[in-house]
Amino acid sequence: MKTSDLIDSHARSATPVKRLRPPFVRAAVWLLLAAAVLALLALAHGLRPDLSARLRQDQFVTGIAATLATAVLAALASFRLSLPESSRWWCLLPLPAVSVWISTIGYACLTDWVAMDPDGVRMGEAAQCFATLLLTSVPLSIAMLIMLRHAAALRPALVSATGGLAVAAITSFVLALIHQFDATIMMLIWNLGTAATIAALATLLGPTMFSWIASRVPPLPPVS
Amino acid sequence: MPLSNTPPIHQAKNRRLVLVEPESVQERAAPQTDWSALMASAQDGDRNAYRALLTQIEPYVRSIARRCFRHPADVEDAVQDVLTIHSIRHSYDPQRPFIPWLAAIANHRVIDRLRHETRKRAREIELSPEHETFAQAHANHDGIAERALIEAIDKLPPEQRDAVRMLKLNEMSLKEASKASGRSVGALKVATHRALANLRKLIGGGSTS
């Protein structure tokens, strides 16, 4: 096809489109969706029974605050990176929060090392955790893929990695508020394992998924 | 709005482009002061504005593509690839300068294309004329090797020679060859096996068993 023909065909199919809102507004919309998911899960399953006691422990509060901060900053970085003229250095935005998050897990692991025993692994709890994990990460990943589909033609790998980190952090935050981990080994498996798996899956599959979604979901028309 | 009248932040963004754009392109791009306005109209559905914009930015995009690709067909493909801004035109914010937005997309697409080309070159080999085959069977034969093979087949014992001719040269099935020669399938298989072993020896310089 000649370039002039391509221009003609693009011009002929140029319908009005709705401009993207600023990235922080879009990140806020996504985080509101995450809050809605958390609220629904809390209603259906209930928060962990010892939450008020845990909220008095500095280590727990630091941990969940760092997780939440990671989610907020990674979501903001992801929406920012999806715009063509943004600097790629935005990917470093969640780094301080991620460092604190990983440090708290590492600290818990070191101080509670003796608490790890085979009795700590409970499969019943694990199955419920898995359900929470899927109910949180799947809808939020799909929402993010649709909201960021325009990144398919730009820098899909970086956007997927930061987006995956945001989903992983939110999932970890929800798990920490809903499920009671009485054994450190389970906390470690769920916290680090799920976060690493979600982030790795997003980085590996994100670019392909973005192209797939972008080819099927066109830009939205403006609201009249 | 002319570029010279843009606020300082716009000038700073455009000045950054000097690092990546050839001078001639800057000169050509500078008069295109209404690209931002054209894109804003295009986002509202103005097809004429969109056609004008795409026609005007094409030489600019082509200059970026030319820095990375030498072959005209590759440059053309890269230009058309950059014109995929069509599918992400909603990501442009008319409050911000247009050229950095376009240049960023063009650079991403061109680099992506270069990566793709490099990967393709690593696993594919381009065919040269001597790799090409022709429709007529005799045009593809290597005369010397073919003659050596035919002479070697002629030297085989009759039952092996017939088996090879029927099963390998004429590509008959075992059933067809069995019917044509009146020999059993098993005998044909054994003869072919021995014939191939003998051919290997003959072509390698040995004699028939």
CA distance A178 to A59: 17
Exposure letters B172-206 (e unless 16+ CB within 10 A, then b): bebeebbeebebeeeebeebbebbeebbeebeeee
- Give the Cβ contact number of residue A158 at 10 Å: 20
Residue A15 domain flag:
no
The answer to whether B20 contacts chain A (CB < 8 Å) is: no
Full 3-state SS string of A101-158: HHHHHHHHHHHCHHHCCHHHCCHHHHHHHHHHHHHHHHHHHHHHHHHCHHHHHCCHHH
The predicted complex's ipTM stands at 0.73
Q: Note whether B105 and A153 are within 8 A (CB).
A: yes
Residue A12 domain flag:
no
- Structure confidence by residue, pLDDT tens digits, A34-82: 999 999 988 888 777 777 777 887 878 888 899 999 999 999 999 999 8
Q: What percent of chain B has pLDDT over 70?
A: 74
Distance of residue A25 Cα from the nearest chain B Cα, in angstroms: 14
The answer to whether B55 contacts chain A (CB < 8 Å) is: yes
Right CATH for B3-123 from 1.10.150.120, 1.10.1740.10, 1.20.120.430, 3.40.50.980 = 1.10.1740.10
How is residue A71 written in tokens? 């989610």
Residue A222 domain flag:
no
Residue A7 domain flag:
no
Distance of residue B178 Cα from the nearest chain A Cα, in angstroms: 54
CB atoms A85 and B80 under 8 Å: no
Chain centroid to CA A102: 16
Identity of the residue in A7, A16, A82 whose CB atom sits nearest the CB atom of B44: A16
- Structure confidence by residue, pLDDT tens digits, B20-42: 444 444 444 444 558 888 888 88
Residue A220 domain flag:
no
B138-162: average pLDDT: 80
Contacts 24+ apart (CB under 8 A), A3-10: A3/B58, A3/B76, A3/B79, A3/B80, A3/B83, A6/B80, A6/B83, A7/B51, A7/B54, A7/B55, A7/B58, A7/B83, A8/B51, A10/B50, A10/B54, A10/B83, A10/B86
What is the total count of domains within chain A? 1
Least confident of A139-143, A178-182, B14-18, B71-75: B14-18
CATH topology of domain B142-203: Arc Repressor Mutant, subunit A (1.10.10)
Residue A34's pLDDT is: 92
Domain interval for residue A94: 21-215
Q: How many CB pairs under 8 A join A and B?
A: 86
Contacts of A1 in chain B (CB under 8 A): 80
The answer to whether A17 contacts chain B (CB < 8 Å) is: yes
Residue B137's pLDDT is: 62
CA distance B145 to A172: 69
- Structure confidence by residue, pLDDT tens digits, A11-47: 888 788 888 888 899 999 999 999 999 999 888 887 7
How is residue A57 written in tokens? 């422990």
